[in-house]
């Protein structure tokens, strides 16, 4: 089974080169490092290889070396026409997993493979500029042919005790996804409602009735949401809708599973506060959509791609 957000369908890289110029370290695993070493050696280019792929002094899981930058900060292999020299000369298979995958975000879960996109790519942001709420697609096929996957998150709720909220993770994720997309409330209200719901979940006694109590709470929430009248309809995507897509996409990336309910709601509230503060600070509001898009791209970059530093300092470990 494959589950993915509908925006993943028909995604096509626009070769703008933004991701090849980002201020991040592109790491490669040991296999990719030696595969490239052989390829460069066969062409008598070992010297370029030793400049382009630099072994890491501290190696993490799947991280053996990193790709050097050009003097302007872009990837070593990016050419002036925004194309990847390694891709052109050596072929797609020669690329490391990150370059093959980005901006796709594959997750390994007990339901199968789940997939979404990263908002730090301008082509993704363009796809997200739509009025319709994001939808989760279930399919027997992935809308992406790549076989090599570098999973960015995981979820195996069955491994949790049935007295633990994360045992019911998929139901919770779907419920939280619905709350964040409930347009009968403004975003402030949705986040307050989400925070109150997380609080209620954490208060449920851990006994044999845990699952039933959790479902009752969710049903009550749906009744409350149904009673609300829909706020104004719009034909065009607004900054508020773009923020909604960003937060819904964030929820689908399994932070509630990987970092815990309380920590994730705190992070969501912090992100919302930062988005609002950054929007207020923007002197010209004539292009609110463009400004909001830039803020979101930057936030995705910080909280997702640099998550090792930022999330670790924020969370300081998972909840038990
Ligand atoms: S930022 Fe997105 S559209 Fe631009 S080159 Fe990277 S993947 Fe392609």
75 lines ligand 1 (CB under 6 A): no
118 lines ligand 1 (CB under 6 A): no
Question: Which of 61, 95, 129 is where one domain is finished?
Answer: 95
> How much is the average pLDDT of 300-310?
65
Among the listed residues 112, 109, 99, the one whose alpha carbon sits nearest the alpha carbon of residue 15:
99
22 falls within a domain: no
21 falls within a domain: no
> For residue 65, what are the domain limits?
27-95
Rounded to the nearest 10°, the torsion over CA 85, 86, 90, 93 is: -130
* Same domain assignment for residues 80 and 111: no
* Same domain assignment for residues 6 and 50: no
Sorting pLDDT into bands at 50, 70 and 90, what band is 282?
Answer: confident
* Same domain assignment for residues 232 and 155: yes
Given a cut of 80, whether residue 46 has pLDDT beyond it is yes
pLDDT digits (tens, 9 = 90+) for 206-261: 999 999 999 999 999 999 999 987 766 788 899 999 999 999 999 999 999 999 99
Q: Supply the pLDDT for residue 305.
A: 62
Among the listed residues 180, 163, 168, 190, the one whose alpha carbon sits nearest the alpha carbon of residue 257:
168
Q: Supply the pLDDT for residue 93.
A: 83
Q: Find the 304 Cα to ligand 1 centroid distance in Å.
A: 16
Q: Find the 183 Cα to ligand 1 centroid distance in Å.
A: 30
Q: Supply the pLDDT for residue 151.
A: 85
* Same domain assignment for residues 123 and 252: yes
Question: Which of 95, 123, 151 is where one domain is finished?
Answer: 95
* Same domain assignment for residues 126 and 3: yes
Sorting pLDDT into bands at 50, 70 and 90, what band is 59?
Answer: confident
247 falls within a domain: yes
More confident residue, 310 or 7: 7
* Same domain assignment for residues 150 and 180: yes
Q: Supply the pLDDT for residue 261.
A: 96
Residue whose CA is at the smallest distance from ligand 1 atom 8: 13
Percent of the chain with pLDDT over 90: 69
Number of domains in the chain: 2
Instruction: For 118-157, give one letter per residue: b (16+ CB within 10 A) or e.
Output: bbbbbbbbebbeeeebbeeeeeeebebeeeebbebbebeb
Sorting pLDDT into bands at 50, 70 and 90, what band is 22?
Answer: confident
Question: Which of 62, 95, 128 is where one domain is finished?
Answer: 95
Q: Supply the pLDDT for residue 23.
A: 84
> How much is the average pLDDT of 262-277?
94
Given a cut of 70, whether residue 309 has pLDDT beyond it is no
197 falls within a domain: yes
Q: Supply the pLDDT for residue 203.
A: 96
* Same domain assignment for residues 133 and 247: yes
Sorting pLDDT into bands at 50, 70 and 90, what band is 307?
Answer: low
Q: Find the 166 Cα to ligand 1 centroid distance in Å.
A: 34
306 falls within a domain: yes
* Same domain assignment for residues 58 and 151: no
Q: Find the 52 Cα to ligand 1 centroid distance in Å.
A: 21
Atom of ligand 1 minimally distant from the CA of 82: 5
* Same domain assignment for residues 46 and 107: no
Q: Mean pLDDT in the chain? A: 89
Cβ count within 10 A of residue 214: 19
Given a cut of 80, whether residue 70 has pLDDT beyond it is yes
Q: Find the 20 Cα to ligand 1 centroid distance in Å.
A: 8
pLDDT digits (tens, 9 = 90+) for 117-150: 999 999 999 999 999 999 999 999 888 877 666 7
* Same domain assignment for residues 218 and 308: yes
123 lines ligand 1 (CB under 6 A): yes
Sorting pLDDT into bands at 50, 70 and 90, what band is 320?
Answer: very low
188 falls within a domain: yes
* Same domain assignment for residues 243 and 109: yes
Q: Supply the pLDDT for residue 317.
A: 46
109 falls within a domain: yes
Separation of alpha carbons 188 and 231, rounded Å? 14
Separation of alpha carbons 201 and 199, rounded Å? 5
* Same domain assignment for residues 48 and 121: no
> How much is the average pLDDT of 143-161?
84
Phi, psi of 257 (to 5 degrees): -80, -45
20 falls within a domain: no
């Amino acid at each position: 089974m494959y589950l993915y957000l509908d925006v993943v369908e028909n995604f096509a890289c626009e070769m703008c080169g933004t991701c090849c110029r980002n201020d991040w370290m592109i790491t490669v695993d040991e296999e990719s490092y030696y595969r490239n070493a052989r390829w460069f050696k066969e062409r008598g280019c070992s010297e370029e290889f030793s400049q382009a792929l630099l072994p890491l002094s501290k190696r993490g899981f799947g991280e053996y070396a990193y790709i050097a930058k050009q003097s302007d900060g872009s990837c070593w292999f990016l050419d002036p026409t925004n194309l990847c020299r390694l891709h052109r000369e050596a072929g797609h298979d020669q690329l490391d997993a990150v370059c093959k995958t980005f901006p796709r975000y594959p997750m390994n879960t007990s339901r199968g493979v789940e997939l979404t996109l990263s908002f730090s790519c301008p082509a993704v942001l363009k796809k997200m500029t739509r009025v319709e709420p994001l939808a989760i697609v279930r399919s027997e096929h992935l809308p992406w042919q790549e076989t090599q996957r570098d999973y960015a998150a995981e979820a195996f709720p069955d491994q949790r005790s049935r007295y633990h909220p994360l045992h019911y993770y998929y139901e919770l994720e779907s419920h939280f996804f619905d709350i964040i997309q409930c347009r009968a409330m403004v975003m402030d209200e949705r986040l307050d409602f989400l925070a109150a719901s997380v609080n209620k979940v954490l208060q449920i006694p851990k006994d044999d009735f845990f699952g039933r109590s959790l479902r009752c709470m969710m049903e009550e929430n749906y009744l409350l949401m149904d009673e609300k009248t829909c706020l104004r309809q719009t034909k065009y995507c607004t900054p508020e809708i773009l923020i909604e897509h960003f937060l819904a996409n964030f929820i689908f990336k399994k932070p509630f599973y990987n970092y815990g309910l309380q920590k994730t709601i705190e992070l969501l509230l912090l992100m919302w506060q930062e988005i609002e503060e950054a929007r207020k600070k923007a002197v010209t509001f004539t292009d609110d959509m463009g400004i909001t898009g830039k803020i979101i791209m930057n936030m995705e970059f910080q909280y997702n791609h640099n998550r090792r530093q930022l999330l670790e300092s924020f969370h300081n470990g998972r909840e038990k």
